[in-house]
Structure 1
Amino acid sequence: MTLQARLDAFKTDFEAGKPPYNVPHSVIETMHRATDELIASGAARHALKVGDTAPAFMLADPEGRIVSLDALLSKGPLIISFYRGVWCPYCNMELQALQAALPQFEELGASLVAISPQTPVNSRKSVRQNNLSFPILSDPRNDVAAAFGLRFRLPDYLVDLYQSLKNDLPAFNGDPGWTLPMPGRFVVGRDGVVLYAEVNPDYTRRPEPEDMLPALRRAAPRAA
């Protein structure tokens, strides 16, 4: 089953209110409204595109070690996946799919990191929960996500909904400003140039891991 097929199946059950979700229809309507407004805003147009230069960053991994973009690129092409947090089931399914595809990426000389605004404690939870062997980096205040053109602030009515559902993003992220990244996936060449970019303001839609393979093969033709 493809990643998107898994996401679609989960979304169907979730929005149908099947156990264990039992989500009221009003909640679904509010989530749809927020997604539709984010799409209509055109925010995704401001994200980095193929040919752009990836902004430098230095972020902490779950153990508190500082990881820089330069150090990651010194090893070869880099896949960067921006995701919302361990509380998001769509994000967890994407991380699992990336983990399953990791051997294909490594055969092409590429490495993989995920970036989330959540605290290192929650990143460690993500690693354990999803059986990941690649690092998750913590992006306080979504500053790196903003540099990639992904950060947005949740509308007040969505903040109210999250609070009613006990989804406390300020606690998850250690940041009082209710922001998230639009899910985004990038392949960056060793020279820092973006070779693949996929951003979707609809968090229930994610590209397949295999979609990046052509860009990785161009980045590492001898490995292909």
Structure 2
Amino acid sequence: MRIGILIILIIMKAVVVLSQKDKLKKFGIEDNDVPKGLMVGEKAPLFTGIDQNGSTFDLRSQLKKSSVVLIFYRGYWCPVCSKYLKSYVDSAELVTEKGATLLFITPEAEDGVEKTIKKNKLNYTVVLDKDESIMKAFDVDFEVTRGYQKKIKTFLFADIAKNNNKETAILPVPATFIIDQSGTVVYRQFDLNYKNRASIREIVENLPE
């Protein structure tokens, strides 16, 4: 009897593990490369990066002036990203009126960023994470599975690695972090399902006073 129960439990566990692997692969993530994202209460890495205008963005310097809403996005080719970027642009004043700064981070190369800005009328700072160091520091990066890369090429006509000007296709979980002026993460929206994003309402409600 006990052996029978044990066998059933082992089978159930195996089914759950396989189900989790399938779910991850659906989003282009291998089960041995699952990002976790910075947690609320942790200090944000004080990075510098080059924006779409070739200017240097320094997070440490910006935090002396305001809190920062940091949003990772995947690329111009991603229709879900475009949908949310447009909603952020349309409602950005709700964020900036409370004294916060909107900042977008992407692994896209210059050509892709230019398309994103033009497509979504994005008039805010976009930092190009060319060496993927910012994504790594926030623990949102992952190497895209070959199957998912093929899917994007087939249905969205985009080569992820080529769009990022890289040999390897790396993407971020499209997470949102709110960083207060002390450099602490006070809010995060992090979901391996790229279709789930932070709403403007959630962002505004969690902005530091």
Q: TM-score range by the shorter chain?
A: 0.7 to 0.9
Instruction: Quote the offset at 1:37 in angstroms.
Output: 7.2
> Is the counterpart of residue 92 in structure 1 residue 82 in structure 2?
yes
TM-score normalised by length of structure 2: 0.81
Residue among 45, 56, 64 paired with 1:55:
45
Instruction: Quote the offset at 1:175 in angstroms.
Output: 1.3
**Which residue of structure 2 lines up, in the alignment, with residue 132 of structure 1?**
122
TM-superposition CA deviations, 1:86-130 (whole Å, max 9, x none): 110100111111112211111111010110000123212211211
AA paired with 1:81?
I
Structure 1's consecutive aligned runs of 4 or more residues displaced over 3 angstroms after TM superposition are: 36-42, 160-166
**Which residue of structure 2 lines up, in the alignment, with residue 75 of structure 1?**
65
Change (3 A) 1:141 1:114: same
Q: Percent identity?
A: 24
TM-superposition CA deviations, 1:154-208 (whole Å, max 9, x none): 1122233344454212221111111100110010001110010011111111121
* Distance in 2, Cα, partners of 1:150 & 1:196: 15
Q: Where is the helix percentage greater, Structure 1 or Structure 2?
A: 1
Which 10-residue stretch deviates more, 73-82 or 151-160?
151-160
Q: Secondary structure at the match of 1:140?
A: coil
Instruction: Quote the offset at 1:143 in angstroms.
Output: 1.9
* Distance in 2, Cα, partners of 1:63 & 1:140: 14
> Is the counterpart of residue 43 in structure 1 residue 7 in structure 2?
no
AA paired with 1:182?
V
> Is the counterpart of residue 146 in structure 1 residue 136 in structure 2?
yes
Instruction: Quote the offset at 1:60 in angstroms.
Output: 1.1
Instruction: Quote the offset at 1:215 in angstroms.
Output: 2.1
**Which residue of structure 1 lines up, in the alignment, with residue 205 of structure 2?**
214
* Distance in 1, Cα, partners of 2:57 & 2:140: 20
* Distance in 2, Cα, partners of 1:92 & 1:32: 23
AA paired with 2:130?
P
Q: Secondary structure at the match of 1:79?
A: strand
TM-score normalised by length of structure 1: 0.76
Structure 1 runs not aligned, ≥5 long: 1-30
AA paired with 2:184?
V
Structure 2 runs not aligned, ≥5 long: 1-21
Which 10-residue stretch deviates more, 82-91 or 165-174?
165-174
AA paired with 1:173?
N
**Which residue of structure 1 lines up, in the alignment, with residue 94 of structure 2?**
104
* Distance in 1, Cα, partners of 2:91 & 2:97: 10
Instruction: Quote the offset at 1:33 in angstroms.
Output: 6.6
AA paired with 1:186?
F
> Is the counterpart of residue 205 in structure 1 residue 196 in structure 2?
yes
For the 8 Å contact 1:123–1:137, the answer to whether it is kept is no
Residue among 173, 178, 185 paired with 1:187:
178
Residue among 105, 123, 130 paired with 2:113:
123
**Which residue of structure 2 lines up, in the alignment, with residue 10 of structure 1?**
none
* Distance in 1, Cα, partners of 2:149 & 2:199: 30
Q: Secondary structure at the match of 2:104?
A: strand
AA paired with 2:86?
Q
Change (3 A) 1:151 1:187: same
AA paired with 1:96?
K
* Distance in 2, Cα, partners of 1:93 & 1:164: 21
For the 8 Å contact 2:28–2:145, the answer to whether it is kept is no
AA paired with 1:168?
D
**Greater Rg over alpha carbons, structure:** 2
Number of matched pairs: 187
